[in-house]
């Protein structure tokens, strides 16, 4: 066969693989005439969707990084919604049964499957019970590509060694919860081949109702990774499973200042004074600590409130302050997800609105988000690391507010004055100095 024929065959195989990948995981529509094209708005759009998901440069062009990701062994569940029951549903009970079948019934396989379930049990409080009958909630099967198991009953066939390793369905009746492994893979308990415990734990996340994560550190990241911590779950995974099975309601309530009952904030000038939230409201600045807040204008006023506030920000054009966690006035609170946060974000440490850019910044641990108040959407590419965009702020932020081109970051008992235009810290003072105390750093 000539070199040109070899090249032509390679390109045809590659094109088939790319179309198959995008059809499986990103809903690329099949051409009714069976044609495969690597051009056109639909194909380019799906390539961009895939690049965005994996944090690649979203050009729509099949560069080496994109092809490398597409060629990695991975989970068979799509990265966009499709599979029945995935995400948004949960098992309605806390004891979930499972059963699996396999040609090799070694004790090692028993141990790895049990261990994979225990990863989620520790994080969620769920109990998993193995059954030997046929009526388990989660049916675990090892099936092959060829022979009678070509479709293994769910219309999502495997593809032989590598490629798709396994797939699972979210909670529900019928196939709900069922988890299938490609028996053509080399399943192991170590680093050689594919670690069954790692892949099983990922798939059981789907079986419990979780979808894929864009975070490579998450167990729910779709591509297989060999280097995983012993406990497997990231902070994101733990927050997601708890949000699904142990929901903690974090509420955000619009608030217009009104009269409240006065109460003295204790030890206001203590050198270790810290604040939970700070925000400007017009010309005044409000400082929140536990169930109290101070108003700083030309004099100080102290008020007791109904609940603690974790973060606060003021949007002048709406004449409205937003208080995260708790309610100060009657009305229906809005969930934090109103801003487009992923489900695993159950609270934030600080928030600040920048009038000039119409952005509200939300800070949590070592990362932050940017919300576009004009378009009502979270800006693309977030979260980002705080230390990268705010050099000199290298720890958790307790509170923040913006005034005259500066962001004031409250970190413990200190306040960092950050030049938002020049991107550097220009001064440090004590938090209690904002209440008229004379302490200095």
In angstroms, the CA 218 to CA 238 distance is 10
114 marked as part of a ligand binding site:
no
**For the residues of 18-83, what is the DSSP string, one character each?**
HHHHHHHHH-PPPPTT----S-SHHHHHHHHHHHHHTT----SS--HHHHHHHTS-EESS-SSS-S
276 marked as part of a ligand binding site:
yes
Query: Strand pairing partners for 77?
Result: none
49 marked as part of a ligand binding site:
no
Judge whether 203 counts as a catalytic residue: yes
178 marked as part of a ligand binding site:
yes
217 marked as part of a ligand binding site:
no
Tell me which residue has tokens 């390793």. 165
185 marked as part of a ligand binding site:
yes
137 marked as part of a ligand binding site:
yes
Contact indicator for 60, 48 with CB cutoff of 8 Å: yes
What is the distance of C-alpha 430 from the center of its chain?
34
In angstroms, the CA 331 to CA 315 distance is 19
Q: Which one from 203, 217, 236, 304 is the annotated catalytic residue? A: 203
412 marked as part of a ligand binding site:
no
In angstroms, the CA 58 to CA 266 distance is 53
201 marked as part of a ligand binding site:
no
What are the Cα distances from residue 396, in Å, to 349, 364, 368? 8, 7, 10
Contact indicator for 213, 232 with CB cutoff of 8 Å: no
294 marked as part of a ligand binding site:
no
Task: Specify burial of residue 150 (Cβ count, 10 A radius: 0-12, 13-18, 19+).
Answer: exposed
Closest CA to 329 of 251, 256, 252: 256
353 marked as part of a ligand binding site:
no
CA angle (438, 353, 330) in 5-degree steps: 95
What is the distance of C-alpha 115 from the center of its chain?
24
176 marked as part of a ligand binding site:
yes
419 marked as part of a ligand binding site:
no
Going by the annotation, the residues of the binding site for Zn(2+) are: 75, 152, 154, 167, 180, 202, 206, 212, 220
**Which residues are tagged catalytic?**
203
Going by the annotation, the residues of the binding site for Ca(2+) are: 103, 137, 159-160, 176, 178, 182-183, 185, 276, 312, 351
Going by the annotation, the residues of the binding site are: 75, 103, 137, 152, 154, 159-160, 167, 176, 178, 180, 182-183, 185, 202, 206, 212, 220, 276, 312, 351
């Amino acid at each position: 066969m000539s070199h040109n024929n070899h090249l032509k065959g390679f390109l045809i195989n590659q094109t088939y693989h790319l179309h198959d990948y995008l059809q499986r995981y990103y809903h690329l529509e099949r051409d009714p005439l069976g044609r495969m094209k690597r051009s056109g708005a639909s194909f380019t759009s799906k390539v961009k969707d895939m690049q965005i998901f994996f944090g690649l440069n979203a050009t729509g062009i099949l560069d080496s990084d994109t092809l490398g990701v597409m060629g990695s062994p991975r989970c068979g569940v799509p990265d966009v919604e499709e599979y029945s029951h995935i995400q948004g549903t949960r098992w309605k009970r806390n004891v979930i049964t499972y059963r699996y079948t396999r040609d090799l019934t070694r004790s090692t396989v028993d141990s790895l499957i049990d261990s994979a379930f225990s990863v989620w049990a520790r994080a969620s409080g769920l109990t998993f019970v193995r059954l030997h009958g046929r009526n388990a909630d989660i049916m675990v099967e090892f099936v092959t590509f060829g022979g009678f198991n070509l479709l293994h009953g769910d219309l999502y066939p495997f593809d032989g060694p590598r490629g798709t390793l396994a797939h699972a369905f979210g909670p529900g009746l019928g196939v709900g919860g069922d988890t299938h492994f490609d028996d053509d893979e080399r399943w192991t308990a170590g680093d050689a081949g594919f670690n069954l415990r790692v892949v099983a734990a990922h798939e059981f996340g789907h079986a419990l109702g979780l979808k894929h994560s864009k975070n490579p550190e998450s167990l729910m990241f779709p591509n297989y990774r060999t280097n995983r911590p012993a406990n497997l779950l990231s902070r994101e995974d733990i927050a997601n499973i708890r949000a699904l099975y142990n929901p903690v309601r974090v509420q955000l309530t619009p608030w217009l200042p009104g009269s409240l009952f006065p109460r003295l904030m204790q030890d206001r000038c203590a050198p270790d004074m810290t604040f939970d939230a700070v925000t400007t409201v017009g010309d005044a600045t409000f400082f929140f600590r536990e169930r109290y807040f101070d108003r700083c204008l030309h004099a100080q006023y102290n008020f007791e409130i109904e609940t603690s506030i974790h973060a606060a920000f003021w949007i002048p054009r709406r004449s409205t302050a937003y208080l995260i966690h708790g309610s100060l006035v009657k009305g229906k609170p809005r969930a934090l997800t109103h801003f487009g946060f992923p489900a695993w974000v159950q609270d934030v440490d600080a928030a600040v609105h920048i009038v000039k850019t119409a952005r509200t910044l939300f800070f949590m641990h070592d990362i932050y988000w940017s919300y576009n108040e004009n378009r009502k959407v979270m800006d693309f590419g977030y979260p980002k690391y705080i230390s990268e965009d705010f050099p000199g702020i290298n720890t958790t932020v307790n509170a923040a507010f913006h005034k005259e081109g500066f962001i004031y970051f409250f970190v413990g008992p200190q306040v960092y004055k950050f030049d938002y235009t020049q991107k550097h810290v220009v001064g440090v003072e004590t938090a209690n100095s904002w209440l008229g105390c004379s302490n200095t750093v």
